[in-house]
Chain A
């Protein structure tokens, strides 16, 4: 049936591509095609020890599939890890397509075609059982994303995506080559690795390659450009879904192919492999720097892009620590991030659809005009800021617990501060876009945009109440790595350090809310106009009811003033060193500092090549 699926996908791509002039029809067809991965997911749920209800038994996708391709065999097979990431992608994908139907007014066929192709690529990646398959589908995905980036039409975005995509692919390819050179096989299951430096080099290269896709800090440069200059529904899918593929890759190779014991053989620090430790530190730095940069942004999409970088940093920390607790936390964070970031990007799309603006300082007061969009955003922001009334908190909590358990004394404060920093930019979105002075007289977003947003909010609420269900999902994945799932009941998670009981939180919250409500409902109230406001006594009619009262431009100016010099100085210093080094090679080397993103990526590539060469010689 996988063959059939691929055929349907390809057929769908051709049809929607041809239907370019009928965007609505193309959208509807794409939507139905996009549901297929979800059904496949359902039929494979036995991998996760979930039994399907009998009326769904007609879904009968085979769990593995092979195709002989000359030099090697393409092997596709469902694994628990693949299933988990497929869950994220396949539930996000139809919603994004549904959102796009009303979002695009013309010229959408290409979009749907490329989206379907992207999904096909990621489908393959998640099922791939050998490096060849993996790489082929990786390229399919990357190139179809490029098509979507090109649709955004921003040169800088295209160049930066292209160069960083190439860099990523090269790093991965190089790592694969080293692995093949070492083991002589493409198939993951047949690899027998030892603790040699070559393997370490290979895994470092592969992880760095995936980190580019996951927008980890030194290699994050492409993400803000692409996120802020592409079409909204695609960005929602890219940030929410596709960025997880990088983490899928890291997990697959770090824990699936190499394994925890082999990682430890390259040195450990307090029971954590040094490799993972480095990754965790980089992740913490990413979380912090991404947050700080997000606070400084004025463009809504750029803010969300940096916020993505920051939030994905948490996943890296979890993967780096590598205990069952940490991996559960990382996966939970991946799930949360998929949904809340998608909702936020879709909400940004809806706001743009109604107002035509992306700059936070130019928006304002939409909360009463678009209440459902606002509420969906609010829920996502609660999840983003880890407020304990959405599932966002559980993920962060698991990561903190994992860090404390392993005595990450210096990483944990940075994680926590990045968490507090998230309040800052979260409030910037809320205030700048939805609260404050009503500047636009617009209607609520159309229903076909609201429905996907609200469906995507649902998991955040479900996993708030039943975090234990999530831990159940992680159990087969951890089993594959020889670990056991953390102790839990549906409402409670236990760790060696503390317990997290959602029932207490929820019932406590509902109870106190009721208490507050009774207290509060005691008196009547009247609604007043926006301008009937404290103006230090000045009557607004004297100013013709024309007083600017929205403070969102440069909202965190003192913050920017404190942090901007450090970020600026840091970058300048780095380039000064590079220039000084360039001086050695002659006067022409001054051209190194060109300010073009593509060039920088080549420098990074060179750096890695030098590093690899050094490893090989050593």
Chain B
């Protein structure tokens, strides 16, 4: 009888350490992970199949369900892909509104993630605060778009309707509130000695491999690359807005305490991005021109999109969100393929860096990579 030395643990699907409905199957000996396998597919709905069955416009409500914490990036990327194929240039005001919406969504998602990282290391207060503060953002979303989570506000050709009259005050109020809260988060998380001990130099993605492995977004910036699609290939109104991309080792007010690319740096980058997002929204609100917010297009439900291939990508809170759309000139897309950032982070990267981690560090590492299962399996 051969005796297996490792024992098997399932982190998820029914486990507090799993982000959403996914599962990590880990083999552990003693306290060290020897091997990890990501198991996905628990959320598979066959979106890409469904999209082929629906007309272009019907797909907008579908795509936003691909990433639950931050649905707007999907709408934006899909809309941009359609606009790309159609050759549309959307109104200037719509671009600014998209910027505002996307950045607000980013703040919300980052608050969730930072809270999640902190909670996975034990600061439940941070998670409670993060989700609680995010709720004020959702209120603004509700005021603007009519929905809390799935907004379906960004459409091909612009945004569905103009901002309400009091939008500026509403948004500014929330931003002021959030800004007043950020020092508290710093005290609770980033300046917490125990947090630093737990998070620094843990769950390191090798810097030289990060790009090759397809790491994107804050995780890539934590590894020391100043890569941000908002800067590289500006969409919406990002080319007209002045903002900084935080990356390791430029951690602003946070001390550089580690070699980077670890849980601590990834958290710090996210905290800094929240500040930058607030800055971006304020600028966008200030610079926003008047005018139409959507293209005047006659037949919403009878679009025929010219044949061709389009790939558009946006910088989501998790990384690069890309839409590969193929049209044959018909009423329905031939193929929509979504590139979620979690696809590489959650499967390949995590499986590679997991061996050697402690059990205690596994869930925080996975959460700090911001793995969101619905965009893996769609």
Given the interface contacts A555-B30, A558-B31, does A537 sit within 8 Å of B7 by beta carbon? no
For B111-127 the 0/1 string (1 means CB < 8 A from A) is 00000000000000000
Q: Could you name 10 residue pairs across A and B whose Cβ atoms are closer than 8 Å?
A: A536-B14, A536-B18, A538-B10, A538-B25, A548-B27, A549-B7, A554-B30, A555-B30, A556-B30, A557-B31
Partner pick for B3 among A362, A547, A560, CB 8 A cutoff: A362
The DSSP consensus for interface residues of chain A is loop
B180: Cβ under 8 A from any A Cβ: no
Q: Which residues of A contact B54 (CB under 8 A)?
A: none
Verify if B28 is at the interface (C-beta below 8 Å from A).
Answer: yes
- CA A529 – CA B5 in complex, angstroms? 22
Shortest Cβ distance from B306 into chain A, in angstroms?
46
Contacts of B15 in A (CB 8 A): 536-537
8 more A-B contacts (CB under 8 A) besides A538-B13, A553-B5, A557-B29?
A361-B5, A439-B1, A537-B10, A537-B12, A548-B4, A549-B7, A554-B32, A558-B31
* Best-surrounded residue of A536, A537, A557 (most CB of chain B within 10 A): A536
Cβ of A550 within 8 Å of any chain B Cβ, yes or no, is: yes
Residue-wise, chain A 438-450 has the 8 Å CB interface mask toward B (1 for contact) of 0100000000000
Shortest Cβ gap from A530 to chain B (Å): 13
Q: What are the residues of chain A within 8 A of B28 when measuring CB–CB? A: 551
Query: Is the C-beta of A574 less than 8 angstroms from some C-beta in chain B?
Result: no
A535 at the interface (CB under 8 A from B): yes
Q: Which of B3, B7, B25 contacts A551 (CB 8 A)?
A: B7
Closest A-chain residue to B17, C-beta based? Answer: A536
Whether the pair A549, B10 counts as a contact (CB closer than 8 A) is: no
**A537 close to B14 (CB less than 8 A):** yes
Tell me if A548 and B18 are in contact (CB < 8 A): no
**Which residue of chain A has the shortest Cβ distance to B5 in the bound complex?**
A553
Q: How far is the CA of A468 from the CA of B92 in the complex (A)?
A: 95
A-chain residues with CB within 8 Å of residue B32 when the two chains form the complex = 554, 557
Chain A residue contacts of B25, Cβ below 8 A = 538
When distances are taken between beta carbons in the complex, the residues of chain A under 8 Å from B30 are 553-557, 560
Which residues of chain A are near B201, meaning CB under 8 Å? none
Given contacts A547-B8, A548-B8, contact A554 B31 (CB under 8 A): yes
Instruction: Report the separation of the CA atoms of residues A34 and B211 in the bound assembly, to the nearest whole angstrom.
Output: 76
> From A534, which residue of chain B is reached at the shortest CB distance?
B14
Contacts of A551 in B (CB 8 A): 7, 28
Alpha-carbon distance A362/B3, docked complex (angstroms):
6
The answer to the question of B11 belonging to the interface, with a C-beta cut-off of 8 Å to chain A, is yes
Q: Is the CB of A549 within 8 A of B13?
A: no
Closest residue on chain B to residue A554 by CB atoms: B30
Measured CB to CB, the nearest residue on chain B to A357 is B3
Question: How many A-B pairs with Cβ below 8 Å?
Answer: 54
Residues 24-42 of B contacting A (Cβ, < 8 Å): 25, 27-32
Query: Is B11's CB under 8 angstroms from A536's CB?
Result: yes
Cβ contacts under 8 Å, A537 to chain B: 10, 12-15, 23
Asked if A548 contacts B12 (CB within 8 A), the reply is no
**Once bound together, how far apart are the Cα atoms of A551 and B3, in whole Å?**
12
Contact (A549, B8) CB under 8 Å given A536-B18, A538-B23: yes
B6 at interface (Cβ–Cβ under 8 A)? Answer: yes
Kindly supply a per-residue 1/0 record for chain A positions 516-560, scoring 1 wherever the CB is within 8 Å of any chain B CB and 0 otherwise. Answer: 000000000000000000011110000000011111011111101
Contacting pair A535 B10 (CB below 8 A): yes
A550 to chain B, nearest CB (A): 6
Rounded to whole Å, the gap between the CB of A562 and the closest CB of chain B is 11
Chain B positions 302-359 with a Cβ under 8 Å from a chain A Cβ = 358
Least CB distance from A539 to B in Å reads: 11
Q: Nearest 9 pairs between A and B by C-beta?
A: A554-B30, A557-B30, A537-B14, A536-B10, A557-B31, A536-B15, A553-B5, A548-B4, A362-B3
Residues of A within 8 A of B18 (CB): 536
User: Which B residues are in CB contact (< 8 Å) with A554?
Assistant: 29-32
Query: B28 — nearest CB in chain A belongs to which residue?
Result: A551
Q: Which of chain A's residues have a CB closer than 8 A to the CB of B10?
A: 535-538
The interface residues of chain B lying within 8 Å CB-to-CB of A556 are 30
CB-CB < 8 A to A536: which residues of B?
9-15, 18, 23
CB-CB under 8 A from B12, the residues of chain A are: 536-537
Q: Which residues of chain A come closer than 8 Å to B23, judged between CB atoms?
A: 536-538
* Chain A minimum-CB-distance residue to B358: A558
- Chain B residues lying within 8 Å of A549, measured Cβ to Cβ, are 7-8
Min C-beta distance of B355 to chain A, whole Å = 14
In the bound complex, residues from chain A placing their C-beta under 8 Å from that of B1 are 439
Can you name the residue of chain A whose Cβ is closest to the Cβ of B21? A537
Which residues of B are found within 8 Å of A547, using beta-carbon distances?
A: 8
Partner of B7 from A538, A550, A558 at Cβ < 8 Å: A550
Cα A556 to Cα B31 in complex, Å, equals: 8
From 552 to 597 in chain A, residues with beta carbon under 8 angstroms from any chain B beta carbon are 553-558, 560
Contacts of B14 in A (CB 8 A): 536-537
**Which residue of chain B lies nearest to A361 when distances are taken between CB atoms in the complex?**
B5
Please give me the residue from chain B that is nearest to A557 by CB atom.
Answer: B30
Give the distance in Å from the alpha carbon of A492 to the alpha carbon of B250 in the complex.
Answer: 70
CA distance A548 to B30 in the complex (A): 13
Q: Most chain-B CB neighbours within 10 Å: which of A361, A551, A560? A: A551
Q: Given the complex of chains A and B, what is the CA–CA distance between A549 and B9 in angstroms?
A: 8
Interfacial chain B residues near A439, Cβ < 8 Å: 1, 3
Nearest-neighbour CB distance to chain B for A343, whole angstroms, equals: 26
Question: In the complex, how many angstroms separate the beta carbon of A524 from the nearest chain B beta carbon?
Answer: 26
Q: How distant is the Cα of A439 from the Cα of B25 in the complex, in angstroms? A: 21
Alpha-carbon gap, A367 to B189, bound state (A):
45
Minimum Cβ distance to chain A for residue B39 (Å): 8
Complex Cα distance, B46 from A358, in Å, reads 52
Give min CB distance, B78 to chain A, whole Å.
32
Contact (A553, B29) CB under 8 Å given A361-B5, A362-B3, A536-B23: yes
Chain B nearest Cβ from A455, distance in angstroms: 33
Closest to A535 in B: B10
User: Quick one: closest A residue to B10, CB to CB?
Assistant: A536
A555 CB contacts on chain B under 8 angstroms = 30
Closest to A362 in B: B3
- Chain B residues with CB below 8 A from A535, complex form: 10
Inter-chain CA distance A537–B18, complex, in Å, is 12
Q: In the complex, A549 Cα to B5 Cα: how many Å?
A: 10
Determine how close the nearest CB of chain A comes to the CB of B363; give it in whole angstroms: 12
Question: CA of A485 to CA of B216 in the docked complex: distance in angstroms?
Answer: 77
- Report the separation of the CA atoms of residues A167 and B235 in the bound assembly, to the nearest whole angstrom: 84
List of B residues within 8 angstroms of A361 by Cβ: 3, 5
Q: Tell me the bound Cα distance from A560 to B30 in angstroms.
A: 10
Q: Which residues of B contact A553 (CB under 8 A)?
A: 5-7, 29-30
B residues less than 8 Å from A548 (CB atoms) = 4, 6-8, 27
Cα separation A554 to B7 with both chains bound (whole Å): 11
Chain A residue contacts of B31, Cβ below 8 A: 554, 557-558
**How far is B27's CA from A560's CA once the two chains are assembled, in angstroms?**
20
| Bound-state Cα–Cα, A361 to B9, Å | 17
Q: Give the distance in Å from the alpha carbon of A72 to the alpha carbon of B63 in the complex.
A: 104
Whole-angstrom distance between the Cβ of A493 and the nearest chain B Cβ: 42
Q: Please measure, in the bound complex, the distance between the C-alpha atom of A554 and the C-alpha atom of B358, giving whole angstroms.
A: 13
